[in-house]
Amino acid sequence: MHKQIPTNLIFGFLGSGKTTTIQSLLERKPASEHWAVLVNEFGEVGIDGQLLDQKGATIREVPGGCMCCVAGLPMQMGLNMLIKASSPDRLLIEPTGLGHPHQILETLTSTFYQDVLDIRTCVTIIDPAKLDNPKVLANENFRAQTDIADVLIGNKTDHCDEPTLAGFERWAHSQQPPKRRVHQTTQGRFPPEWLDERHADLSITPPVGHATHDAPPRRQWEDLDSVPWQQALNQGEGHFSCGWRIHPDTQLDFAGLHALAHEPQWRRFKGVLNTTEGWRAINAAGETITTSEVPEQSESRLEIITDHLINGQQLDARLKRLSQ
């Protein structure tokens, strides 16, 4: 019998820092171990896979919506291929911030996977500054991510004042079921040994209102040499996304991108792009924008998510005006 794969789920709402957390874990994993990461993104364009690809793990993306939709088939297919290709010593799963934790965990603990996966600590990443937003606190998926967590991580504490951090502590310690650990940090860092603790069987009834459903048809991407600028739209769970794949020879004005990322209507602005200042990763959530140098990529990718209806043509025209 094959050894079960230690498996951790890293949950978190949009912009909480899930990918940064996984980057931190990959940087500190045992050198003798090979880890794999399954990433689900709400939009049709996968960004997180590009950001994680430099960290020495096998990455597989399931873009285009919630993992658990279409009877879980996108997740199961991606997961099966990832396990077969990499035979990992540990598996990290990053669902979309709009995903449904109970349904995802139900799939991973089903009969099909019970001899394959060993579900251990489930971690939920929280941006303490978002806890003063009633829309976040009332969001069904946010509540489910909190319910299912063994560990709550208050991230981005360097952007929070003392009252905000104190509020996070009060909120986190008031959650039911009680959490094994509550931790404050920056860059998603926490002791990797926490990953090996057992996942609590919380026996929480999944929230009513989300039924497994057919997702919209996936965008069929074309070769960038033939179509060097490609856009895709997606919507669901009260959110809308607009994503691009762009030929690597096309440069985008860095200052213009930074200004676009600053606009308050975006719930998430995330990309890996060839800019006038070189290849950059740009990540914006709320008023916080981070940029970093990245190695040259095979293409530029950008994903914008908002809770307002997107005019794809207007947004595409704005981005094209930044191209060179």
pLDDT at 141: 86
Contact predicate 257/282, CB 8 Å: yes
d(Cα 273, Cα 5) in Å, to the nearest integer? 34
pLDDT at 95: 85
Contact predicate 261/284, CB 8 Å: yes
pLDDT at 243: 87
At 290 the three-state DSSP class reads: strand
* Structure confidence by residue, pLDDT tens digits, 267-293: 889 888 999 999 998 988 777 788 989
pLDDT at 102: 85
pTM of the model: 0.74
Tokens standing for residue 312: 């794809």
Q: What are phi and psi of 226, to 5 degrees?
A: -85, -40
d(Cα 154, Cα 13) in Å, to the nearest integer? 12
User: 3-state DSSP: the chain helix, strand, coil percent, rounded to 5?
Assistant: 30, 30, 40
Non-local CB neighbours of 36 within 8 Å, separated by 6+ positions: 57, 58, 59, 60, 82, 83, 86, 88, 90, 91, 92
Q: What is the layout of strands, in order, in the sheet containing 268-275? A: 229-236, 239-246, 300-306, 268-275, 278-285, 288-293
d(Cα 155, Cα 186) in Å, to the nearest integer? 5
pLDDT at 116: 95
pLDDT at 322: 96
d(Cα 237, Cα 64) in Å, to the nearest integer? 12
Neighbour tally for 278: CB within 10 Å: 12
Q: How confident is the prediction along the chain (324 residues), in pLDDT tens digits per residue?
A: 478 999 999 999 888 988 889 989 998 999 999 999 998 765 454 555 555 665 568 888 876 555 445 445 667 888 899 999 999 999 999 887 666 788 888 888 888 898 999 999 999 999 999 999 998 899 888 999 999 999 999 999 999 999 999 999 999 999 988 999 999 999 999 999 999 999 986 544 444 444 444 444 445 568 888 899 998 888 776 778 888 999 999 999 999 999 999 998 888 898 889 999 999 989 887 777 889 898 898 899 998 888 888 888 999 999 999 997
Go through the domains of the chain in sequence order and give each one's CATH number.
Answer: 5-196 (3.40.50.300), 229-320 (3.30.1220.10)
Could you tell me where the DSSP H helices lie in the chain?
A: 18-27, 48-52, 73-86, 101-108, 134-138, 140-148, 162-173, 254-261, 312-320
pLDDT at 43: 47
Neighbour tally for 75: CB within 10 Å: 24
pLDDT at 71: 43
Contact predicate 95/9, CB 8 Å: yes
pLDDT at 99: 64
Secondary structure letter of residue 206 according to DSSP? P
